[in-house]
Structure 1
């Protein structure tokens, strides 16, 4: 079995089937893979600072990779972002639904010290349907992202240079504060605005919150019974 002689640092989300597929692909095809998987709030493991090698691959990672670690990648540090360049930062799927985007996508880009600002390598786009909600759009996004991952990593395995896309980030990254604001509903909002926010932020147990006279109430939809 001919593996590519390469040291890879793989950073990803814990307990995610798409991440596990991407990691398995790396382990099957590179001679040396160091992997750290985590969830929101987990600190980046201290021993990651000892790593040195050719590539850092961030795939749905919950960590902002510090600059000192990025510099240890001799060839490239790349991230697979679950959104098109129109939606950098936090809550990208939510903002795409809120803005009623007709098209969405996934992006592979070089990592920089500021999140979602590095030079773009490749983008894969697909349509957003009127029937989409957070769950359905996320599932399709993760499928497209895995395909893009295979395409880009295959280039690395073949010893080819990473492409340079003509695409650019179109705005500054969305922040957690902006995302939290999207999940607020107040009495002064129109019916249309409320419907947009419900569509954009309802996902499983997560729902927008209603603020009324200093109190916050949990939204209950018809689907809740």
Structure 2
């Protein structure tokens, strides 16, 4: 079988997924990316059996998806309740008690294709965007190993009655969540800080007289 693996560059879990794919599919093209990278040339003419998209930062062109003869499969680090960008952020903001990851067929609309499998886990009061995200990455890799193992062994892909519950969240909506204003309640400001705080990410900001200030929660 001919496979195209599309993944996130410099990511530990993605490297493990890539290694597993290369070990099981000798005829495999690998493309790794960061957000903002140009779309690679191979997208223009690749054709084969499967596309596996694992945490990649690109929107995969519909023409490329159609050239996957058997399936184009995405591994999304959020459950069907949170498609799109900022899935963990919104789960924290909405005080979700469950989170998870989703494996699904890809189509021209982001995070809308038929769902293959979902793995869920509990969310605790002590959790943060970081801890939930890290747990999701572990579950996503386990899901990847499970689904790819089925394909390698010739087993049919599973089917589920799970369905997406909303349209995919956009980056502009996540950026709006990062904005606070002086007329917001203290509770709303703290909720936005908690739901957008992540290592090496900017977090929330406040615009005062045309100047932008970053806010952090005081642990004391």
What TM-score, normalized by structure 2, do the two folds share?
Answer: 0.96
Q: CA deviation at 1:171?
A: 0.4
Q: CA deviation at 1:220?
A: 3.7
In structure 1, the gaps of 5 or more residues are 1-5
Is 1:44 paired with 2:47?
no
Is 1:210 paired with 2:206?
yes
Which of the residues 17, 21, 39 maps onto 2:16? Answer: 21
Whole-Å separation in 1 of the counterparts to 2:42 and 2:50: 17
Which of the residues 119, 122, 137 maps onto 1:124? Answer: 119
Alignment of 1:59-208 (within 5 A): 59-205=54-200, 206-208=202-204
Whole-Å separation in 2 of the counterparts to 1:72 and 1:47: 12
Whole-Å separation in 1 of the counterparts to 2:89 and 2:116: 24
Whole-Å separation in 1 of the counterparts to 2:186 and 2:167: 29
Q: CA deviation at 1:129?
A: 1.0
* Matched residue SS, 2:26: strand
CA RMSD after TM alignment: 1.2
Moved more, 206-215 or 11-20: 206-215
Aligned length: 219
* Matched residue SS, 1:31: coil
Q: CA deviation at 1:27?
A: 0.5
Q: CA deviation at 1:44?
A: 1.6
Q: CA deviation at 1:215?
A: 2.7
Q: CA deviation at 1:134?
A: 1.4
Whole-Å separation in 2 of the counterparts to 1:215 and 1:187: 13
* Matched residue SS, 2:23: helix
In structure 2, the gaps of 5 or more residues are none
Q: CA deviation at 1:222?
A: 2.9
